[in-house]
């Protein structure tokens, strides 16, 4: 039976996995949401430690994918998506880190981007039509998408990123591929980039001329596939009680994936939405009132989101009930000073080097465990510290060793088109690339 997805703006609008993935979002501008959340069998949960990564991925995603991909195609997609390590490492007696930065662009978004690219490649072949992917990035998404889609037949990728607001490594990763990867450097912030992408999807004239879709976490293939590494964390968890999990949170696709896995049966004690100064979700959890604010630039730039897209999906998971949400989720807002102090303290005390986003998650988890001393927790290590050399140097006095996968970046030429945050100008450039008018 094929899982159906409905628009959160209008539940009567339905699509299967293939149609929802290709569209990115519903025709009315709403985000797609699955009609049911599958329940994992107890034997699957009990056997996580002995199953292969690809088998875990298959078992989690097959109910969501349905007949949109054959079992063989899905298995191949999962094997290629999970072709690197996701180690759970101990920092101290009560705190562990799931390292999600061993993929090609050293960020957690490699998993979702690789799975999405494999889906899109298969679907482009099925329909015999080129798929044009739009993505707004506050940092890591752009590089992960560029690497995952580079050379994938039947796809063209257009990345919008805020000028001067991503790290040097991040910028190199998203601007130096060329070929079917195109970068737009927007003179604004991430919210401007995200707004322009959403405007493109709502432009009926543009949508009629070209098949446009998204690779942000608004796309169900990105969001749902991230459930897999929560299962990989629990496969390595040796402690007696279920963990607290602290998630660095910006656009909230990551936390939403964890909550989806939890509703399917993944044993988790509690989730912490670890935010920086962009803390509209923190305020919501504490007050029940959601008031989005313009984004603020911080040292953990990939989390600089004022209006998180996946907030509406989290609401849907809990039937809009704030009280039910706060039983499993709390939230902390961590300042830049606390971020730097945490990087420094953890490095000196435990000889472990965090990146700024993971430092936010560490501090939020540490604050929680001070109040709940019998609990133990996992923080998600979402990026390698080399991606943020200035912050790391400020904290520990020197920059981390550069992994081999990054060393050749500096020799590659940046290619980007600089634009003001003007949708009509972006649309004109997009039409020129696509040779439509």
- Which sequence spans correspond to the domains of the chain? 1-36, 37-83, 87-106+226-396, 109-218+402-437
Q: Which residue is associated with the tokens 């009315």? A: 28
What integer pLDDT is reported at residue 134 of this predicted model?
92
Q: What is d(CA 272, CA 186) in angstroms, rounded to the nearest whole number? A: 32
- Determine how β-strand 5-7 pairs with β-strand 131-136: unpaired
Just give the CATH number of 109-218+402-437: 3.40.50.1100
Q: Which two tokens stand for residue 347?
A: 């490095």
What integer pLDDT is reported at residue 167 of this predicted model?
82
What integer pLDDT is reported at residue 237 of this predicted model?
98
- Determine how β-strand 32-34 pairs with β-strand 5-7: antiparallel
Matching fold, domains 87-106+226-396 and 109-218+402-437: yes
C-alpha distances (whole Å) from 176 to each of 169, 403, 414 are 11, 18, 5
Q: What is d(CA 357, CA 275) in angstroms, rounded to the nearest whole number? A: 9
Contacts of 406 (CB under 8 A, 6+ apart): 106, 169, 386
Contacts of 209 (CB under 8 A, 6+ apart): 431, 434, 436
Backbone angles phi, psi at 237, to 5 degrees: -80, 120
**311 touches 194 (CB < 8 A):** no
What integer pLDDT is reported at residue 266 of this predicted model?
97
**426 touches 200 (CB < 8 A):** yes
What integer pLDDT is reported at residue 405 of this predicted model?
73
**217 touches 111 (CB < 8 A):** no
Q: What is d(CA 295, CA 312) in angstroms, rounded to the nearest whole number? A: 18
What integer pLDDT is reported at residue 1 of this predicted model?
67
Q: What is d(CA 393, CA 340) in angstroms, rounded to the nearest whole number? A: 10
What integer pLDDT is reported at residue 208 of this predicted model?
85
The H or E element that residue 432 is part of is: helix 423-434
pLDDT in tens, the chain (437 residues): 689 999 999 999 999 999 999 988 898 889 999 999 999 999 999 999 999 999 999 999 999 999 999 999 999 999 999 999 999 999 999 999 999 999 988 999 899 999 999 999 899 888 888 899 999 987 778 889 999 999 988 899 999 999 999 888 889 989 999 899 999 999 999 889 989 998 998 898 898 888 888 887 789 999 999 999 999 999 999 999 999 999 999 989 999 999 999 999 999 999 999 999 999 999 999 999 999 988 898 999 889 888 898 999 999 999 999 999 999 999 999 999 999 999 999 999 999 999 999 999 999 999 999 999 999 999 999 999 988 888 999 899 988 887 877 777 888 899 999 999 999 999 999 999 888 75
Just give the CATH number of 87-106+226-396: 3.40.50.1100
CA dihedral 422, 427, 429, 435 (to 10 degrees): -170
The H or E element that residue 155 is part of is: strand 155-162
Supply angle C-alpha 410, 434, 147, rounded to 5: 30
C-alpha distances (whole Å) from 114 to each of 84, 169, 240, 430 are 12, 19, 33, 24
């Amino acid at each position: 039976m094929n899982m159906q997805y409905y628009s959160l703006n209008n539940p009567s609008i339905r699509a299967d996995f293939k149609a929802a993935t290709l569209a990115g979002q519903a025709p009315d501008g709403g985000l797609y949401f699955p009609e049911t959340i599958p329940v994992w069998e107890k034997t699957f949960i009990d056997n996580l430690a002995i199953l292969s990564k690809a088998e875990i991925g298959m078992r989690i995603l097959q109910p969501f994918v349905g007949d949109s991909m054959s079992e063989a195609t899905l298995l191949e997609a999962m094997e290629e998506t999970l072709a690197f390590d996701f180690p759970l490492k101990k920092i101290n007696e009560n705190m562990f880190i799931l390292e999600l930065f061993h993929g090609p662009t050293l960020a957690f978004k490699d998993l979702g981007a690789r799975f999405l690219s494999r889906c899109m490649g298969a679907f482009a072949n099925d329909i015999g039509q080129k798929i044009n992917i739009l993505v707004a990035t506050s940092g890591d998404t752009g590089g992960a998408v560029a690497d995952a889609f580079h050379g994938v037949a039947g796809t063209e990728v257009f990345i919008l990123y805020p000028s001067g607001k991503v790290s040097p490594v991040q910028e190199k990763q998203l601007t130096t591929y060329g070929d079917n990867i195109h970068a737009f450097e927007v003179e604004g912030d991430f919210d401007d980039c995200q707004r322009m992408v959403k405007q493109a999807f709502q432009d009926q004239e543009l949508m009629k001329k070209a098949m446009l879709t998204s690779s942000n976490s608004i796309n169900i293939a990105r969001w749902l596939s991230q459930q897999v590494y929560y299962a990989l964390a629990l496969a390595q968890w040796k402690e007696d009680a279920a963990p607290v999990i602290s998630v660095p949170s910006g656009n909230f696709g990551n936390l939403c994936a964890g909550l989806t896995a939890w509703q399917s049966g993944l044993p988790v004690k509690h989730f912490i939405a670890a935010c920086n100064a962009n803390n509209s979700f923190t305020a919501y959890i504490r007050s029940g009132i959601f008031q989005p604010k313009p984004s603020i630039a911080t040292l953990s730039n990939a989390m600089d989101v004022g209006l998180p897209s996946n907030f509406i999906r989290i609401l849907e998971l809990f039937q809009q009930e704030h009280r039910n949400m706060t039983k499993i989720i709390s939230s902390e807002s961590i300042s830049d000073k606390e971020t730097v102090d945490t990087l420094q303290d953890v490095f000196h005390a435990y000889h472990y080097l965090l990146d700024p986003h993971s430092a936010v998650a560490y501090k939020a988890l540490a604050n929680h465990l001070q109040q709940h001393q019998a609990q133990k927790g996992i923080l998600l290590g979402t990026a390698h510290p080399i991606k943020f050399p200035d912050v790391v140097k400020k904290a520990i006095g020197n920059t981390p060793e550069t992994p081999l996968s990054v060393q050749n970046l500096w020799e590659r030429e940046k290619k980007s088109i600089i634009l003001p945050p003007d949708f009509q100008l972006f649309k004109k450039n997009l039409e020129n690339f696509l040779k439509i008018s």
